Structure 1
Amino acid sequence: MERDVLVVAYDDAELLDIACVTTTLATANDRGADPPYAVRLLSPGGRPVPCRPGLHLDVHGALEHRVGAIDTLVVAGGFGHERAAADDVVVAHVRRLARDARRVASVCTGASVLAAAGLLDGRRATTHWYFAGDLARAHPAVTVDPDPIFVRDGDVATSAGVTSALDLTLSFVEEDHGPALARGVARSLVTYLQRPGTQAQMSVHVAAPPPANDVVRTVVDHVAGHLDDDLGAAALAGRAGVSERHLTRLFRAHLGRTPAEHVRRARTEAAAHLLATTDLPLPRVAARCGFGTTETLRTAVLRAYGRTPTEHRRALLTNR
């Protein structure tokens, strides 16, 4: 008995969205997945799928011809997602196949197709951060969270941009076959096993572009270079020469979060980096990143990454 996995593609689907799923499952088969995955790529009409830049991907069959129970249904993302989500035929067949699937998932903007099929209504979901606002506006019944790299809500999973599909698929392998096989797959693919779904899509230190507002940019730069300073609202507002209320309004308008939320995220990311790249004891990590105690550090890392600082360091060391 095989685990049937259907990957749905369409014109202008993203090749990497597809490959992260199919290659991960094929590698699991190579390393002894039992039962193995039977992966099928389907498209409307069974036509080859045009992908950027000028590539055409052959498929295994037509979306509309597939019937019967399946293990996993995955909808790929890509620049053609809006047309796919507006195509009543594609949406109807995704909805039909989802009824017979043990679990349903999307990669990146493939979430818009699941949402159009009503499969995300009343659920928490994610997508590529750039398109999260569009998804939330188009589907108010969906709770869109732009931060995590993937979200599992019952039997429906959504992942963020492109390579986060690898993390989601590794979580499926671990769920189906256990952590040992998933770790072996991750090593074959030269990737971590696995970034937790709660990990942020994008670091505050590499997010682009930098804040357009001079006040916000000045404060953000100060925070990045002085994590162990007093970064309370009053101190930051005083440095910026504005009131706390005005600084909060500026941060919400330009970053979508409060100064306190930005400071907490910056400190947590810096701590995660130190945990991954140094053997500093936890009290020194906490002090260098501005956490008052190791317990405060523990709480912040657990909330952001789904594991304690010790577990986070151990997981990264295991995958080096």
Structure 2
Amino acid sequence: MRHHPLEYPRIMPTVSLLAFPGVQSLDVSGPLDVFAEANRFLLPQQHYRLQVIGAGDGPLICSNGMQLTAHRHFTHSDEACDLLLVAGGPVLVKQAPDAALGAWLRQQAQQAKRFGSICNGAFLLARAGLLDGTRATTHWDDAAALAQQFPQIRLEPDRIWLRDGKLYTSAGVTAGIDLSLALLAEDAGPEVALNVAKRLVVFMQRSGGQSQFSPYLTPYAEEDSLVGRVQQYVLAHLGDKLTVEKLAGLVATSPRNFARVFARDARMTPAEFIELARVDAARAMLERSALPLKSIAIDCGFRDAGHMRQVFQKRLGTGAQQYRDSFSASARHPSNE
């Protein structure tokens, strides 16, 4: 596809980023740095014009204590922008709706060429009704809350970023940089975006979904419940052949009843739980040991290293070796010698 950089009515495209008290500072600075760095590679008349819009009076104190000063309050910002991004922050999940802010977001989203959210800024868009019936993503840790509060959203929680028409949403924190690089590539072409990625020392496109960054995936039931007793057995016997018949026998019930009760209480089938438990065990070993992939695969109950790689790809969006390269202790703390 041929790119036509920065085809906007305005010569200098405007990027507006909404911030508020308690905002995650990197949700603001990361995307702004992408577009600011892009100006190094663009003609002066193509430069992005960047502005922070505040949803609070006076200086904004970020979640890490840093102080930001917005260019203007949203009530004094009626001008349409080319790109509107809403930052996230820990306070948003339980924050009460703000009718005035919601109305402003709806107006700005309608006027903007593109709009979207970073991290759990999706909650502000959702409260404004801007995510109804759309495909969207958010920080993995807030995905369940977003889905519960706004079931009309077609949530895709493993995506780093996602586009639905002119709506763009991203996963948590640094994923805002990924999204901004993608938006920049749409505007100015992949070469400019790649140069900016190099300047910021980040990947142009990282591999895998955000599940690989989340805590372990396996949900657990109460230990003394039927499901909990079976789960504890599975965790202690991951290398064994685990069938529904065998697990049902442990709790003296029929395979059919066991499968029904397990799916009801664990919200997944026994086979899904076993697979996730094996992935979790393998993740821990990949992070903390230097054992060969084949040994880890067998110890965790996979048929072989190839089978483990396939399951990792399905569950985490990345292979076992790639996971080790990204998250093992030796990878995080390379020798300086």
Distance 1:236 1:23 in 2: 54
Distance in 2 (CA, whole Å) between partners of 1:3 and 1:73 is 11
Cα distance in 2 between the residues matched to 1:203 and 1:131: 13
> What letter corresponds to residue 22 of structure 2 in structure 1?
D
Q: Quote the residue 1:204 is aligned against.
A: 216
Matches within 5 A, 1:1-320: 2-26=12-36, 28-29=37-38, 32=41, 37-44=48-55, 47-52=58-63, 55-64=66-75, 65-70=77-82, 72-81=83-92, 86-129=97-140, 131-172=142-183, 177-178=190-191, 180-181=194-195, 183-185=197-199, 187=201, 194-197=206-209, 199-200=211-212, 202-204=214-216, 211-215=221-225, 216-217=227-228, 219-220=230-231, 222-224=233-235, 226-239=237-250, 244=255, 245-246=257-258, 249-250=261-262, 252-253=264-265, 256-268=267-279, 287=298, 289-292=300-303, 296-297=307-308, 299-306=310-317
Equivalent pair of 1:147/1:201 in contact (CA under 8 Å) = no
Structure 1: distance between partners of 2:250 and 2:204? 40
* Pairwise CA distance, 1:58: 0.5
Partner of 2:3: none
Taking the aligned partners of 1:311 and 1:193, their CA distance within structure 2 comes to 14
Percent of pairs with identical residues: 30
The question of whether the paired residues in 1 share the 8 Å contact of 2:138 and 2:172 is answered with yes
Decide whether aligned partners of structure 1 residues 279 and 204 sit closer, same or farther in structure 2, where only a CA change above 3 A counts: closer
- Give 5+ residue unaligned stretches, structure 1: none
Q: Match of 1:303, SS?
A: helix
Query: Could you list the runs of 5+ residues in structure 2 that have no partner in the other structure?
Result: 1-10
Query: In structure 2, what is the Cα distance between the partners aligned to 1:192 and 1:314?
Result: 18
Q: 1:91 to 1:275 in 2, by over 3 A?
A: same
Paired with 1:293 and 1:168, the residues of 2 have a C-alpha distance of: 36
DSSP 3-state at the match of 1:199? helix
User: What is the distance in 1 between the residues matched to 2:57 and 2:201?
Assistant: 34
Q: Aligned partners of 2:139 and 2:253: how far apart in 1?
A: 34
Distance 1:172 1:279 in 2: 41
Are the equivalent residues in 1 in contact too, given 2:116–2:169 (CA < 8 A)? yes
1:42: how far off? Answer: 0.6
Runs of at least 4 residues off by over 6 Å: 82-85, 272-279, 308-320
Deviations 1:199-222 (A, max 9, x none): 3552326x79x6443455554455
2:5 corresponding residue in structure 1: none
- Opposite residue 128 of structure 2, the aligned amino acid is A
| C-alpha separation in 2, matches of 1:52 and 1:311 | 32
Provide closer, same or farther for how the CA distance between residues 181 and 295 of structure 1 changes in structure 2, counting only shifts above 3 A: same
Distance 1:186 1:131, change over 3 A: same
Equivalent residue pairs, number = 312
Q: Deviations over 1:33-92 (max 9, x none)?
A: 77655432111477432334655321122324242341x321122354368762222112
Whose Rg is larger? 2
Indicate how the Cα distance of structure 1 residues 140 and 241 shifts in structure 2: closer, same or farther if over 3 A, else same.
same
TM-aligned CA distance change 1:165 to 1:268, over 3 Å: farther
How far, CA to CA, are the matches of 2:298 and 2:109 in structure 1?
49
TM-score (norm 2): 0.68
Q: Distance in 1 between matches of 2:236 and 2:40?
A: 45
CA deviation profile, 1:240-275 (whole Å, cap 9, x unmatched): 65555446635653x543332233334445667788
Deviations 1:153-184 (A, max 9, x none): 34323334444434444554566535743652
Contact 1:46 1:60 in 2 (8 A): no
